[in-house]
Structure 1
Amino acid sequence: MRVRPRHLLLGVTVALTLACTATSPAESPPAPLDRYLIAGDRAFPTGLAYDPATGHYFVGSAASGALYRGHIDQPEVELFSPDGTDGRALTSGMTLDSAGRLFVNGASSNTTRIYDSGNAELLAELRGLDGGFINEVSIAEDGSAYVTDSFLPVIYRITESDGRWQMEPWLDVAGTAIDWVHGQHNLNGILAVGRYLLSVQSNTGQLWRIDRSTREVVEVDTEPLPSGDALISDDGQRVFVTQGNLYAAGDQEPRVAVLEMSENLTRARIVDSLVPPDGFRHPSQAALTGQGRILVVNSQYNRFVSGQAPQLPFTISSVPIAD
């Protein structure tokens, strides 16, 4: 038997490896998921907070205090913090700040709880006025948080100094141009954009601009956005508004309206309407992933408040958006 020199064998091996590498197609990234599943027949998901650094998102329940965590590459969520933890009985709007702290609003429990998003440690529990409905929250560029109360005419401001948190009424909405209707969901989604806040009034569909320095409130000139819920943006000039059916005409299709804002945020026009192929089920909060997609919670909140059985399973939609 003839034995080839070792250096020749190594050369043949390297050559074959290079040839295979050159002819093999490059591995393509996995296709993005179109939806995510939340187990249970009473989950009724509502709030959503997304962490672009990790790809994780957090979801709360309108029917309980359960908090869930998912990842954009995984089809199902996991339980992050059980119902009843820290006294949580229900949740509403959520967000993450730049330090990774998770703000969880408590709807009619009139609370905002702040957590470490890594280990679910409670950092603060804050309380609003009795009889309110602590709904949505947005973080301004100075780190302060602004919170809507949908049942009481007030916007709260949350600040932190040396680990001490404070939540105070910041704006008396009754003293502004906003026409408040008691007993209905009024101000809902809120978005901090530079020196301003934007907030949508669910029951009337009006969009409002609020100056954080002067607290002046002016109506944004745009077509009505009935049942407007979440407000999110990637640059302050393009704003996404989720719309369900709670205060809309019965034939309005639930959607995400895409608004193009004027530079001073006093005018807006709807330039697109996002609807997945299987439709939305009363979309509530949403988040941009930074990967050309928007996550939208199918809350079925309209069924929850009317006592109707939900359409299972509960889901979060992932919808592509134009650049």
Structure 2
Amino acid sequence: MERSFTRRTLLGSAAALGGATLLGPRTGTARAARPAAVPDRAWPTRFALPNGFRPEGITIGRTPFAWFGSLADGDVYRAELATGRGRVVIEGLGRDRSVAGLKIDLAERRLYLSGGLSREIRVADIRSREIVRNFSVARSGSMVNDVVLTPGAAWFTDSLRPQLYRLPVDRDGEPGREVATLPLGGEWEQGSEFTANGITRTPDGRALLVVNSVVAGGSLMRVDPRTGVARRVALGDLKIPRGDGLLLLGRDLYIVQQRLNRVEVVRLNDTGTEGTPIARITDARFRVPTTAAAWGRRIYLPNARFDVQPGPDTDYDVVAVERV
């Protein structure tokens, strides 16, 4: 693994999340930064997923378990970080009903699932292991890719159309029954094919950050959740043409560049309008990682292996690297 960065004092997540917010600090990314959540040195830094699973998204909640969605058939797999062992805990809806991005809520009661090219947004109940909400959004030619949770909503990206989706969530964590569409404007540019990808919030919680693979050769965009107006985040000379999942820890943003087999780490200002690249993580075990989630001092990434033809015998795994 290679790192090249200027070391600075990291801000605590509590300081980074202080003050009034629009989207709020109640997200899995900030929660995973707890210093008390330190994995044992004996925990595996690499473990297998089922052959043919085709992972894309990962989420980790308040307990040391990682959840993965399958592009093959929409299954959800849960693995114990201490051992690497796991099993399918939620049955998918079958072929062409994939799960791309996914996030677990604060209470660890529900999973919010992005349905990819099925154009579906789903909510799964962890206790009953059933899909309790299933929304068909947009029209043919859309792709629901990634998701982030905020106190009042789950936000989803569409990789093929210039819009986000908002599913309201009430104070008790109950998801709503209608999904709203937010058109993207401002400096947003939509390519002829795949454009939007990962999504998270700004450190101050007032806006959303979304990967755009088209603007200036690959950029991070700051989106006003009220208007949809997007502005490019100043990242110096850094481009993210293969940007995928986003992981925000305090003010440090981890940007997974999947086919480049690396993770860019950027220190953002509070408002998310600009950031300074501070590290690049590479690892010989990376095989097109797509998304990232944190537990303690580790970052976990599933290898999606988009560079090979998938089949029922294709092997997949998860690797862990140290946080910056």
Contact 2:255 2:264 in 1 (8 A): yes
Q: What is the match of residue 22 of structure 1?
A: none
Contact kept, 8 Å, 1:133 with 1:149, in 2: the verdict is yes
Deviations 1:130-181 (A, max 9, x none): 12100000012x33111100011111111135664221102x12x3311111
| Residue of structure 2 in register with 1:32 after alignment | 43
Contiguous gaps of at least 5 residues in structure 2: 1-38
Structure holding more helix per residue: 1
Q: Distance in 2 between matches of 1:220 and 1:202?
A: 13
Contact 1:102 1:117 in 2 (8 A): yes
- CA separation of 1:121/1:225 partners in 2, compared to 1, >3 Å: closer, same or farther? same
Matched residue, 2:28: none
Assess if the C-alpha contact under 8 Å between 1:116 and 1:123 holds in 2: yes
1:126 aligns to what?
Answer: 135
Match of 1:234 among 230, 243, 249: 249
Q: Measure how far apart 1:88 and its partner are.
A: 7.2
Task: Identify if the C-alpha distance between structure 1 residues 39 and 309 changes in structure 2 by more than 3 Å, giving closer, same or farther.
Answer: closer
In structure 2, C-alpha distance between the alignment counterparts of 1:199 and 1:65, rounded to whole Å: 24
Task: Name the CA distance, whole Å, in 2 between partners of 1:179 and 1:110.
Answer: 21
Q: Which residue of structure 1 aligns with residue 258 of structure 2? A: 244
Query: Do 1:195 and 1:213's aligned partners in 2 also have CA atoms closer than 8 Å?
Result: no
- What are the residue-to-residue correspondences of 1:66-215 with 2, within 5 Å? 66-84=75-93, 89-100=97-108, 101-131=110-140, 132-140=142-150, 142-161=151-170, 164-170=176-182, 172-173=183-184, 175-182=185-192, 184-193=193-202, 194-203=205-214, 204-215=217-228
Cα distance in 2 for partners of 1:254, 1:260 equals 20
Tell me whether 1:43 sits opposite 2:57 in the alignment. no
The Cα shift of 1:308 comes to: 6.0
Between the two proteins, what is the percent identity of the paired residues?
24
Contact 1:198 1:208 in 2 (8 A): yes
- Secondary structure of 1:285's partner? coil
Work out whether residues 97 and 143 of structure 1, in 8 Å CA contact, stay in contact via their aligned partners in 2: no
- Which residue among 271, 281, 299 is the counterpart of 2:287? 281
Q: CA deviation at 1:49?
A: 1.3
TM-score (norm 2): 0.79
What's the offset of the Cα at 1:61?
Answer: 1.1
Alignment size in residue pairs:
275
The amino acid that maps onto 1:314 is: Y
Q: CA deviation at 1:188?
A: 0.5
Q: Tell me the SS of whatever aligns to 2:179.
A: strand
Contact 2:145–2:157 (CA under 8 A) maintained in structure 1: yes
Q: Secondary structure at the match of 1:165?
A: coil
Deviation of 1:59 (Å): 0.5
Instruction: Using the TM superposition, give the Cα deviation of residue 30 of structure 1 relative to its aligned residue in structure 2, in angstroms.
Output: 5.0
Taking structure 1 as reference, are residues 302 and 134 closer, same or farther at Cα in structure 2, changes over 3 Å only?
farther
Helix, strand or coil at the partner of 1:32: coil
- Where in structure 1 are there 5+ consecutive unaligned residues? 1-27, 246-252
Deviations 1:17-72 (A, max 9, x none): xxxxxxxxxxx9552311121121x2111111111x22111101112222111111
Pairing of 1:234-313 with structure 2 (within 5 A): 234-235=249-250, 237-245=251-259, 253-276=260-283, 278-289=284-295, 291-303=296-308, 307=309, 312-313=314-315
1:118 & 1:49 partners in 2: Cα distance?
17
Q: 1:308 to 1:73 in 2, by over 3 A?
A: closer
CA distance in 1, matches of 2:139, 2:229: 26
Structure-2 change in CA distance of 1:270 and 1:63 (3 Å): same
CA distance in 2 between counterparts of 1:261 and 1:311 reads: 41
Secondary structure of the residue aligned to 2:155 is strand
Counterparts in 2 of 1:219 and 1:123: CA distance versus 1, 3 Å: same
- Cα 1:46–1:202, aligned 2, differ >3 Å: closer, same or farther? same
Q: 1:117 to 1:266 in 2, by over 3 A?
A: same
CA distance in structure 1 between the partners assigned to 2:54 and 2:160 by the alignment: 21
**Structure 1 counterpart of 2:243, one-letter code:** G
Q: TM-score scaled to structure 1, two decimals?
A: 0.79
Name the CA shift for 1:163/1:154 in 2 (closer, same or farther; >3 Å). Answer: closer
CA distance in structure 1 between the aligned counterparts of 2:125 and 2:186, rounded to whole angstroms: 36
**What residue is the counterpart of 2:26 in the other structure?**
none
Q: Give the Cα separation in 2 of the matches to 1:139 and 1:180.
A: 24
Q: 1:84 to 1:310 in 2, by over 3 A?
A: closer
